[in-house]
Amino acid sequence: MSNLNAEEHKCFEDIKCIRANGTEYWMARELAPVLEYTEWRNFSKVIDKAMIACKNSGREVFDDFVEVNKIVEAGATSKPVKDYELSRYACYMIVQNGDPRKEVIALGQTYFAIQTYRQEIADRFNQLDEDSKRLVVRGDIKQWNQLLAEAAHDAGVITNEEFAIFQNAGYMGLYGGMTVDDIHKRKGLAVREKILDFMGSEELVANLFRISQTESKLKREDIYGTDEASNAHYQVGHEVRKAIERVGGTMPEDLHTPEKSIAKLEKEQLAALKKKGNQLMLDE
């Protein structure tokens, strides 16, 4: 997301609430003015439409639209009024059913669509077994490594030797000074085996963050030169390591090394797909 979009979407972030269990929600009466609805009765009609859309999508409506009473001051007295604790999906349904002529509605559609998509991806990822998680993250790393290589080249990291120095720097930052060769030996790998293929999902995610954030830093700060780029890669890796330490996580070099490589998992998956395909042909 660009900085412009981040600023535009700040209005939705500013009114987001977090429960004690970490789940997030938005209060309907706070969302209404952000979406430029000055009259509650008009916004209430949009909520009603959104609830119908939510039901038709197969979800449990009252899980996403939690009705609550809110006390408001009315002169010398106070009175309860209806409000809703809205899930991200509820907000998405609301902006989908809002007045399309309002620019803020379009912004809301983009914001809540992106956030809902991210959560769906996270939920699906959490349901995967460990080998499937490894395959997913390794695939992401392949794409990000390509982007990182391009960013490093643009930063003046040209030769194979320079790129090896650049890559080593990132690993040294993340692995407490260990080089690629050190990590390779620690995992007990054969000469041609790749260290990324022998990482569990947790270790892969740490490296994915290192790679993606370095690519972003190189481009964002217009870094140029092998030494400068390598220093940046080291700094990002080191910051990721410190973050792991702060939350009490296991250092990447101390994580379990899986017995099966990613390459072997991919071959097994491909074989299973081919077998399934042959069975379908026989059934037909």
Q: Which one has a higher pLDDT value, 71 or 54?
A: 54
* Residue 264: strand, helix, or coil: helix
Q: How confident is the model at residue 276 (pLDDT cuts 50, 70, 90)?
A: low
Residue showing tokens 């789940």: 23
Per-residue confidence (pLDDT) for residue 75, from 0 to 100: 67
Q: How confident is the model at residue 3 (pLDDT cuts 50, 70, 90)?
A: very low
Residue type, 249: G
Chain mean pLDDT for the chain: 88
Per-residue confidence (pLDDT) for residue 231, from 0 to 100: 98
In tens, the pLDDT along 234-243 reads 999 999 999 9
> Span 101-110, mean pLDDT?
84
In tens, the pLDDT along 160-169 reads 999 999 999 9
**Tokens of residue 228, six digits:** 């400068």
Whether residue 281 is predicted with pLDDT greater than 50 in this model: the reply is no
* Cross-strand partners of 281: none
> Span 189-208, mean pLDDT?
95
Q: Do 198 and 131 touch, CB atoms closer than 8 A?
A: no
| Least trusted range by pLDDT, from 70-79, 98-107, 159-168, 246-255 | 70-79
Q: Which one has a higher pLDDT value, 244 or 56?
A: 244
Q: Which of 52-61, 116-125, 224-233 shows the highest mean pLDDT?
A: 224-233
Put the strands of the sheet holding 77-86 in their side by side order.
Answer: 16-18, 24-27, 77-86, 65-74
* Cross-strand partners of 137: none
Per-residue confidence (pLDDT) for residue 2, from 0 to 100: 36
Q: How confident is the model at residue 6 (pLDDT cuts 50, 70, 90)?
A: very low
Q: How confident is the model at residue 284 (pLDDT cuts 50, 70, 90)?
A: very low
| Least trusted range by pLDDT, from 111-125, 152-166, 265-279 | 265-279
Residue 98: Cβ-neighbour burial (10 angstroms; 0-12, 13-18, 19+): buried
| Least trusted range by pLDDT, from 105-119, 137-151, 171-185 | 105-119
Whether residue 45 is predicted with pLDDT greater than 70 in this model: the reply is yes
**Tokens of residue 94, six digits:** 């609301």
In tens, the pLDDT along 9-42 reads 578 888 999 998 888 999 999 999 999 999 999 9
CA distances from residue 56 to 13, 50, 53, 59, 88 in whole angstroms, order as listed? 27, 10, 5, 7, 17
Q: Do 95 and 35 touch, CB atoms closer than 8 A?
A: yes
Q: How confident is the model at residue 79 (pLDDT cuts 50, 70, 90)?
A: confident
Per-residue confidence (pLDDT) for residue 277, from 0 to 100: 54
